[in-house]
Chain A
Amino acid sequence: MKINNHLIVTIGSALMLVSCGQQNQSSNGALSSSAAEKVYVAPGEQDEFYAFLSGGYSGNLTVYGLPSGRMFKEIPVFSQFPTSGYGYSEETVPMLNTSHGFVPWDDLHHPDISQTNGELDGRWIFVNGNNTPRIARVDLSTFETAEIIEVPNSAGNHSSSFITENTEYVVAGTRFAVPVPQRDMSISEYKGNFKGALTFISVDPEHGHMAIKFQLLMPGFNYDLSHPGRGKSHGWFFFTTYNTEEANTLLEVNASQNDKDFIAAINWKKIEEYVNNGGGTKMPANYAHNVYDEHSHTGTSTMRKEVLTVDPTKVPGAVYFLPTPKSPHGCDVDPSGEYIIGNGKLSADLTVHSFDKMIAAIEGEKFDGEAYGIPILKFEDVLAGQVKSGGLGPLHTEFDGKGNAYTTFFISSEVVKWKLGTWEVIDRKPTYYSVGHLMIPGGNSRKPFGQYVVAMNKITKDRYLPTGPEMEHSAQIYDISGDKMELIYDFPTHGEPHYAAGCPAELLAPKSQKIYRLDENQHPYAVTTADGSKVVRDGKEVHVYMSTIRSHFTPDNIEGIKVGDKVYFHITNHEQDFDVPHGFSILGQNSSELLVMPGQTKTSVWEPKQVGVWPFYCTDFCSALHQEMQGYVRVSPANSNIELKWSLGE
C-alpha cells in the first residue's frame, strides 16, 4: 500500500513536470495535437499533398510530400542528370539545345501547375530557366520534362513561368534588360536603349505544346516577378519592377534610389486581340523549341527564326504603371483577383493595390505622368491599403482561401499572417533562416487548400547536423488550419528552392503512369519483340538493338566491334511491370549510364578506344539474378576483319 502511494506521488509529480513543460513551450493550449502527430505519415500511408519545389541552381524540380517533407523524385529539367541519363542519352540531348548550343545546366525558379477556371487541373507544371532563358513543361502523368522553349530577347528569365487562369499562356519576363535585338554597344548606353521583353507563350489546350504568341518590348527596367489576374481581373497580368532608375552598375545602390518603382499592369487580352488582328512587328530571331515525344521516347530540337514583337505604346489601354514603393519583389494576386500585392523588399510595409480602383483610375484617366509613353497611375488612386507588418524585407505572399494572406520577410526571418481588407496582422512565426518563397498548395489560384504553408529558406546554419561549409537549404512546414500558425516540421531541400507549387495528392496520384506500353513504342531503334535484337554496322557506326528483361540483355555477347567505331546501344526494356527499370553501363563510356523504364528505349553512345573484351551490366538491382545481368563486347584492332556477330545463350 505504501509502495502504491509512493508510486502515485511519483507519477503525479512527473505529470506536473510534463504539463509545466508543455505550458512553457506551447501557447496553443492542451487540446491541440502534437506537431509530431500532424506530420507523421505512418509507414505505408501516403501524404495529403504533392509539393513541387524548384531546385534553383540544381536545374531540376524536386517532388515532395506534405506534410511529411519526404522527397519522392528529382525531375531533371534543365540539367544533365546521370542518374537516368537525361541530357546524356541520344534521345534527351536535344532537350538541352539552345541558340547558344548545348547548355547542360540552368537555374530553375518558379513552378506553376496548369489551371482551368483558375483552379489547379494537374495536367502540367511549368518551370523557368533563369540563366539561358527557357520555359519547360513537365508532364504530370509521367513526371518527366516534355518540352522546353527558349525565350529570345530575354535575359534573367525571372518573372516567369506563371500561367493565366485557363493556361492560355505561360508568361516569361526579363529581369536583366538587354539590347533588342542583341548587338555590340556600350554598356553605359543602357538607359533608354535596353528593353525588357515580356513574352506570352501560348499553351495548346490539348497537348500543352508551347509557342511564342508575342513579346511585349517594355522599357529597360528589371521585371522581377509576376502573377496573373484571376476572376474579375482575368485578362490582366501584373509584373513588379525594380531598377526603374535604369542603372547599369552597382545596382545595389543605384537601383535603390527611387522611392517607388512600378507594378506593370498588362491587359494581355487587349494585346492578344491586337496581334490577332495583324498587329505587332515580326522580328528575326533564333531560338530553340525542344519537344519530347512520349511514344518515340525521343526529343527533337527545332530552331525558330522569327518572333512577333509588340510596342506597348502602339496598343492604347493595354499597359499601365502602378507606383509601388521600395523595389518590390513578389507580385501576388489574391484568390478573388481584387488585390495585387507588391512586396517592397527594402521596406517594412506591404503595398496592396485594388483592381477595381485601378480600373476606375484608368477610366477616369487620372494619370501621374508617363514613362516611355506608358501612363503612370496615381499611387493614392490605386492603393487599397498597406500592411504595417513590423517585419523587414517582405518578399512573397500566398493565400489560404479564407481571407488571409501570408507574407515572407527575408530580413526579419518570419512568416506574417494578415487579413485581406483590414490589413491587420494576425500572427507571425519565425523561420530558420531568411525565408524566400513560401507555398500554400493552390495558394496562388482561385482555390487555395489552406492546410499547410511551406517556408523555403536561404540560410540553414545550425538547423541540421553540420556537413562542412556547404549544406542543403532548410524549409519549414506550418499548420495554418487554426487562427495561429504552428511550426510542425523542418526539412532540408535540394538545390535552392525558389518558389514551389502544391496540389492535393488525389489530383495526380490516380493518373501517375506506371509503365510505358511496349506496343506503343515508336522509337526507330526499338526492339519490340523477343527475337528482334540485332547488331547492324553502317561504316564506322554500329547500332546495337538490345532488349532487357529479368535478368538478361539480348544479345549479351557481341564481337566484331573495332577501335574507332561509334557504337550506339539502343536499349529497350521489355518489362511491362510497375517499377522494374533496367540500367545499362559499359566500361569506358564517356557519358552516363541509362536507366530505362518498362517499355522505354534509350540510347547511349560508346566509342571504344582500347582493344579488349569489355563488360557491360545492369546498374539497377532489378531482380534476384541482377548480378548475372551482364555481357561482353569484344573490341578488335581497327584493321581486323573479325566478323560482326551477336548472341545470347550460345
Chain B
Amino acid sequence: MKKASILMIFGPLFLLGLYIFPLWNIMLGAPQYPDPLGLNIHINGLKGVNEFDIQNIDGLNHYIGMHTLPKAEDMWEFSTFPMVIGIMVALGVLIGLLGYFNKVNYKWFLGWFVLMSIMGILGMYDFNEWLVDYGTNLDPNAIMKLTNPDGTAMTYKPPLLGHVKMLNFDVTSMPASGGWLMFVGMMLTLAAGFLGWKKTKKQ
C-alpha cells in the first residue's frame, strides 16, 4: 500500500503544471501564415502562442463576423478552474497521505480519479459549448457571409480535438503540455488505485 500511496501523493501534483502550461492548444495555419497563428488555452485565460497571435486571430475573424476572443475576466471558467484544480490537488495529496498511514484504502484513490474524470468531462463539455458559441454566434453585419453548398450559413466552430479545414485555414486542436501532465498525473492515481486493489486482493 506504501507504493500505491506514494503514487497517489505524486499523481495529483502533476496537475500543478496547469498553472504554468496550457491545457489545450489550437493552431491555425494557412498559405499566408507559414508560421501558424496559435491559441494556448490555460486554466486561467487565453494566450497567443506568439505575442500578437490573439490580436491577429481577432483581426482575421472580424471578416467573418466572429466575436473577439474572451479576456480572462469575460468568462467565469477562468477564475473557477484554478480553484477547482487547487482543491483537487490538495484533496488528492491528502488522500495519498492518509493512504500512506493506512487511514484510507485504495477505493479513495479510485474515487478521486473518478471525481477528477467527471470534472474533466464536464470541463470538456463546457469548453465545447464555448467553441460552438464562438464559431456560430456571428455578427449579422459580418463583412463576409459565406454559405455551405446546401445553402445554410457557414459557421466556424474549431474542433474540440483533431484537425478541420476551415476556409483557407487548417485548424488543429490538441491537448497541450499542461493537459498531458494532467493526463499523466491522473494515470498515476489510477495506477495507485490498481496497485492498492492488487495488494488488498493478495492479503
Do these two chains really belong together in a complex? yes
Chain A, residue nearest B51 (CB): A576
Quick check: is A263 within 8 A (CB to CB) of the other chain? no
**Of residues 165 to 218 in A, which have CB atoms within 8 Å of B's CB atoms?**
none
A/B pair count, beta carbons within 8 Å:
17
The answer to whether A549 touches B63, judged by C-beta atoms less than 8 angstroms apart, is no
CB-based contact A624/B56 at 8 Å: no
CB B114 to nearest CB in A, in angstroms, measures 45
Contact B59 A550 (CB under 8 A): yes
B60 nearest CB neighbor, chain A only: A550
Q: How far is the CA of A549 from the CA of B56 in the complex (A)?
A: 11
Interface string of B46-59 (1 = CB under 8 A from A): 00000110011001
Contact of B63 among A575, A576, A624 (CB under 8 A): A624
Inter-chain contact B59/A577, CB cutoff 8 Å: yes
Bound-state CA distance A302–B165 (Å) is 56
Residues on B with C-beta less than 8 A from A578 are 35
Q: Say which size band chain B's interface belongs to.
A: under 10
Give every chain A residue within 8 A of B63 (Cβ-Cβ): 624-625
Q: Indicate which residue in B35, B56, B143 contacts A576 across the interface (CB closer than 8 Å).
A: B56
Q: How many residues of A contact B (CB 8 A)?
A: 9
- CB-CB nearest in chain A for B53: A577
Q: Name the A residues within 8 Å of B144 (CB-CB).
A: 624
CB distance from B146 to the nearest CB of A (A): 12
- CA–CA, A549 and B52, complex, Å: 14
Nearest CB to that of B55 among chain A residues? A576
Question: Across the two chains, which residue of chain A brings its CB closest to B34?
Answer: A44
Interface residue ranges of B52-104 to A (CB < 8 Å): 52, 55-56, 59, 63
Chain A interface helix/strand/loop/mixed: loop
Q: Is the CB of B59 within 8 A of A549?
A: yes
How far is the CB of A458 from the nearest CB of chain B, in Å? Answer: 39
Which of B51, B52, B143 has a CB less than 8 Å from the CB of A625?
A: B143
Min CB distance A462 to B, Å, is 40
Residues in B19-60 with C-beta less than 8 Å from chain A: 35, 51-52, 55-56, 59
A577 vs B53: C-alpha distance when bound (angstroms): 8
CB distance from B34 to the nearest CB of A (A): 9
Contacts of B55 in A (CB 8 A): 576-577
Which chain A residues border B59 with CB–CB below 8 Å?
Answer: 549-550, 575, 577
Q: What is the CA–CA distance of A578 and B63 in the complex, to the nearest angstrom?
A: 19
Complex CA distance for A549 and B55, rounded to whole angstroms? 11
Minimal Cβ-Cβ distance residue in A for B56: A577
Chain B residues, Cβ within 8 Å of A576? 51-52, 55-56
Q: How far is the CA of A575 from the CA of B59 in the complex (A)?
A: 9
Partner of B52, one of A550, A577, A624: A577
A117-149 vs B, CB cutoff 8 Å, 1 = contact: the mask equals 000000000000000000000000000000000
Contacts of A624 in B (CB 8 A): 63, 144
Q: Which residues of A contact B51 (CB under 8 A)?
A: 576
Q: Which residue of B lies closest to A579 (CB)?
A: B32
* A 599-636 binary contact with B (CB < 8 Å = 1; else 0): 00000000000000000000000001100000000000
Give min CB distance, A346 to chain B, whole Å: 53
Q: Please report the C-alpha to C-alpha distance between residue A515 and residue B51 in the assembled complex, in whole angstroms.
A: 12
- Residue on A with the closest CB to B52? A576
B residues near A, CB below 8 A?
A: 35, 51-52, 55-56, 59, 63, 143-144
- Can you add 10 more A-B contacts, CB < 8 Å, to A550-B59, A576-B56? A575-B59, A576-B51, A576-B52, A576-B55, A577-B55, A577-B56, A577-B59, A624-B63, A624-B144, A625-B143
Q: Can you report 8 A-B residue pairs in the complex whose CB atoms are below 8 A from each other?
A: A515-B52, A550-B59, A575-B59, A576-B51, A577-B52, A577-B55, A578-B35, A625-B63
Shortest beta-carbon contacts, A-B, top 5: A576-B52, A577-B56, A576-B55, A550-B59, A625-B143
